[in-house]
Protein backbone atom coordinates (compact mmCIF):
# COMPACT_ATOMS: atom_id res chain seq x y z
CA UNK A 1 0.00 0.00 0.00
CA UNK A 2 2.88 2.38 0.79
CA UNK A 3 4.47 1.66 -2.58
CA UNK A 4 1.28 2.45 -4.51
CA UNK A 5 0.56 5.50 -2.33
CA UNK A 6 3.92 7.04 -3.22
CA UNK A 7 3.56 6.25 -6.94
CA UNK A 8 0.09 7.84 -7.06
CA UNK A 9 0.70 10.75 -4.69
CA UNK A 10 4.20 11.90 -5.61
CA UNK A 11 4.60 11.75 -9.39
CA UNK A 12 6.56 12.62 -11.42
CA UNK A 13 10.25 11.99 -10.87
CA UNK A 14 12.09 15.26 -10.35
CA UNK A 15 15.61 16.22 -9.38
CA UNK A 16 16.19 17.33 -5.82
CA UNK A 17 18.37 20.20 -4.59
CA UNK A 18 20.42 17.85 -2.41
CA UNK A 19 23.08 20.44 -1.63
CA UNK A 20 20.61 23.06 -0.39
CA UNK A 21 18.89 20.55 1.89
CA UNK A 22 22.16 19.89 3.65
CA UNK A 23 23.17 23.56 3.85
CA UNK A 24 20.03 24.72 5.67
CA UNK A 25 19.66 25.03 9.41
CA UNK A 26 17.96 22.98 10.58
CA UNK A 27 18.99 20.37 8.05
CA UNK A 28 16.14 18.80 6.08
CA UNK A 29 15.91 15.04 5.65
CA UNK A 30 15.46 14.04 2.02
CA UNK A 31 12.32 12.05 2.88
CA UNK A 32 10.89 15.15 4.61
CA UNK A 33 11.65 17.26 1.54
CA UNK A 34 9.72 14.88 -0.69
CA UNK A 35 6.85 14.54 1.80
CA UNK A 36 6.48 18.32 2.07
CA UNK A 37 7.11 19.38 -1.53
CA UNK A 38 6.09 16.33 -3.58
CA UNK A 39 9.41 16.54 -5.46
CA UNK A 40 11.81 13.66 -5.46
CA UNK A 41 14.28 11.55 -7.36
CA UNK A 42 15.03 7.86 -6.87
CA UNK A 43 16.90 8.60 -3.63
CA UNK A 44 14.19 10.67 -1.99
CA UNK A 45 11.46 8.32 -3.24
CA UNK A 46 13.26 5.36 -1.66
CA UNK A 47 13.96 7.23 1.56
CA UNK A 48 10.32 8.33 1.79
CA UNK A 49 9.22 4.71 1.35
CA UNK A 50 11.53 3.60 4.19
CA UNK A 51 10.38 6.51 6.40
CA UNK A 52 6.71 5.65 5.83
CA UNK A 53 7.40 1.99 6.68
CA UNK A 54 9.20 2.95 9.87
CA UNK A 55 6.44 5.37 10.87
CA UNK A 56 3.95 2.50 10.62
CA UNK A 57 6.01 0.14 12.76
CA UNK A 58 7.96 -1.62 10.01
CA UNK A 59 11.38 -0.61 11.30
CA UNK A 60 13.47 -2.91 9.13
CA UNK A 61 13.07 -0.75 6.02
CA UNK A 62 15.91 0.86 4.11
CA UNK A 63 16.95 2.70 0.97
CA UNK A 64 19.73 1.04 -1.01
CA UNK A 65 22.01 2.61 -3.54
CA UNK A 66 24.21 1.37 -6.29
CA UNK A 67 24.30 0.91 -10.03
CA UNK A 68 21.55 -0.20 -12.35
CA UNK A 69 21.54 -1.02 -16.03
CA UNK A 70 18.13 -1.26 -17.64
CA UNK A 71 17.78 -0.67 -21.37
CA UNK A 72 21.23 0.87 -21.43
CA UNK A 73 24.80 -0.17 -22.00
CA UNK A 74 26.08 2.13 -19.28
CA UNK A 75 25.27 1.50 -15.60
CA UNK A 76 23.78 4.50 -13.84
CA UNK A 77 23.63 5.44 -10.19
CA UNK A 78 20.28 4.53 -8.67
CA UNK A 79 18.39 4.04 -5.39
CA UNK A 80 15.58 1.63 -4.48
CA UNK A 81 14.12 0.36 -1.21
CA UNK A 82 13.44 -2.77 0.81
CA UNK A 83 11.46 -3.82 3.84
CA UNK A 84 11.97 -6.90 5.97
CA UNK A 85 9.38 -9.59 6.65
CA UNK A 86 10.31 -11.97 9.49
CA UNK A 87 10.49 -15.55 8.26
CA UNK A 88 10.71 -14.39 4.64
CA UNK A 89 13.51 -11.86 4.29
CA UNK A 90 14.07 -8.55 2.52
CA UNK A 91 11.40 -7.57 -0.02
CA UNK A 92 12.68 -5.11 -2.63
CA UNK A 93 10.81 -2.50 -4.62
CA UNK A 94 11.69 0.25 -7.04
CA UNK A 95 9.34 3.20 -7.13
CA UNK A 96 11.25 5.07 -9.80
CA UNK A 97 11.47 2.24 -12.31
CA UNK A 98 7.78 1.51 -11.71
CA UNK A 99 6.96 5.15 -12.42
CA UNK A 100 8.77 4.84 -15.76
CA UNK A 101 5.80 2.82 -17.00
CA UNK A 102 3.88 6.10 -17.06
CA UNK A 103 6.49 7.72 -19.32
CA UNK A 104 5.75 5.53 -22.34
CA UNK A 105 2.70 4.61 -24.36
CA UNK A 106 1.86 0.99 -23.52
CA UNK A 107 -1.41 -0.88 -22.94
CA UNK A 108 -2.80 -0.35 -19.44
CA UNK A 109 -2.53 -4.04 -18.53
CA UNK A 110 1.21 -3.99 -19.31
CA UNK A 111 1.64 -0.77 -17.30
CA UNK A 112 -0.12 -2.38 -14.34
CA UNK A 113 1.91 -5.60 -14.62
CA UNK A 114 5.16 -3.61 -14.79
CA UNK A 115 4.28 -1.64 -11.64
CA UNK A 116 3.16 -4.79 -9.85
CA UNK A 117 6.44 -6.51 -10.67
CA UNK A 118 8.54 -3.70 -9.19
CA UNK A 119 6.36 -3.60 -6.05
CA UNK A 120 8.06 -6.78 -4.78
CA UNK A 121 10.86 -7.58 -7.25
CA UNK A 122 13.92 -6.14 -8.94
CA UNK A 123 15.58 -6.76 -12.25
CA UNK A 124 18.92 -8.56 -12.06
CA UNK A 125 20.93 -5.67 -13.54
CA UNK A 126 21.99 -4.10 -10.23
CA UNK A 127 25.11 -3.72 -8.16
CA UNK A 128 24.62 -2.68 -4.53
CA UNK A 129 27.09 -0.07 -3.24
CA UNK A 130 25.37 0.90 0.01
CA UNK A 131 22.69 -0.92 1.96
CA UNK A 132 21.24 1.94 3.95
CA UNK A 133 21.55 5.68 3.49
CA UNK A 134 20.50 6.20 7.12
CA UNK A 135 23.27 4.02 8.53
CA UNK A 136 25.63 5.73 10.99
CA UNK A 137 29.26 6.07 10.04
CA UNK A 138 31.44 3.49 11.77
CA UNK A 139 33.70 4.67 13.17
CA UNK A 140 31.77 7.86 13.81
CA UNK A 141 33.06 11.04 12.19
CA UNK A 142 34.84 13.40 14.59
CA UNK A 143 32.75 16.40 15.62
CA UNK A 144 35.21 18.80 13.98
CA UNK A 145 35.34 16.92 10.65
CA UNK A 146 34.03 18.80 7.65
CA UNK A 147 31.66 16.44 5.91
CA UNK A 148 29.11 17.13 3.22
CA UNK A 149 26.19 14.74 3.89
CA UNK A 150 24.91 14.88 0.34
CA UNK A 151 23.18 11.74 -0.86
CA UNK A 152 25.37 10.64 -3.73
CA UNK A 153 24.25 8.33 -6.43
CA UNK A 154 27.81 7.26 -7.07
CA UNK A 155 30.35 5.75 -4.68
CA UNK A 156 31.68 8.56 -2.51
CA UNK A 157 35.03 9.32 -0.97
CA UNK A 158 35.20 10.76 2.55
CA UNK A 159 38.45 11.91 4.14
CA UNK A 160 39.08 13.85 7.32
CA UNK A 161 42.78 14.29 6.57
CA UNK A 162 42.77 15.75 3.05
CA UNK A 163 43.53 19.48 2.74
CA UNK A 164 41.64 19.71 -0.58
CA UNK A 165 38.17 18.67 -1.75
CA UNK A 166 38.93 15.01 -2.41
CA UNK A 167 35.50 14.33 -3.90
CA UNK A 168 35.86 17.07 -6.51
CA UNK A 169 39.49 16.11 -7.09
CA UNK A 170 38.56 12.49 -7.82
CA UNK A 171 35.39 13.25 -9.78
CA UNK A 172 35.35 11.31 -13.00
CA UNK A 173 38.36 9.21 -12.00
CA UNK A 174 36.36 6.25 -10.79
CA UNK A 175 33.70 4.33 -12.62
CA UNK A 176 32.22 0.97 -13.30
CA UNK A 177 31.87 -0.99 -16.48
CA UNK A 178 30.25 -4.30 -17.22
CA UNK A 179 31.75 -7.04 -19.33
CA UNK A 180 29.80 -10.03 -20.59
CA UNK A 181 31.09 -13.36 -19.34
CA UNK A 182 30.41 -16.48 -21.33
pLDDT of residue 129: 82
pTM above 0.85, yes or no: no
* Distance separating alpha carbons of residues 4 and 115, to the nearest angstrom: 9
pLDDT of residue 124: 85
The one-digit pLDDT tens for each residue of the chain (182 residues) are 999 999 989 877 787 776 667 656 777 788 888 899 888 889 899 999 999 999 999 878 999 988 887 766 677 888 999 999 999 999 999 999 998 898 899 999 999 999 999 999 998 888 888 887 766 666 776 777 665 554 444 444 444 555 555 444 445 555 555 566 77
Helical packing angle, 2-9 and 42-55, nearest 10°: 140
Q: Are 130 and 46 contacting, i.e. CB atoms less than 8 angstroms apart?
A: no
Helical packing angle, 2-9 and 108-120, nearest 10°: 130
Amino acid sequence: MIYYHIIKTYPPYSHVPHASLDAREPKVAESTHMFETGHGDCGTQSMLFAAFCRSLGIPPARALGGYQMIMSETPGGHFWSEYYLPGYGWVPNDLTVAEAADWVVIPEEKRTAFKEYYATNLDSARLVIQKNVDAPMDPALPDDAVFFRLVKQYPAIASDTADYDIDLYSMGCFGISLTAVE
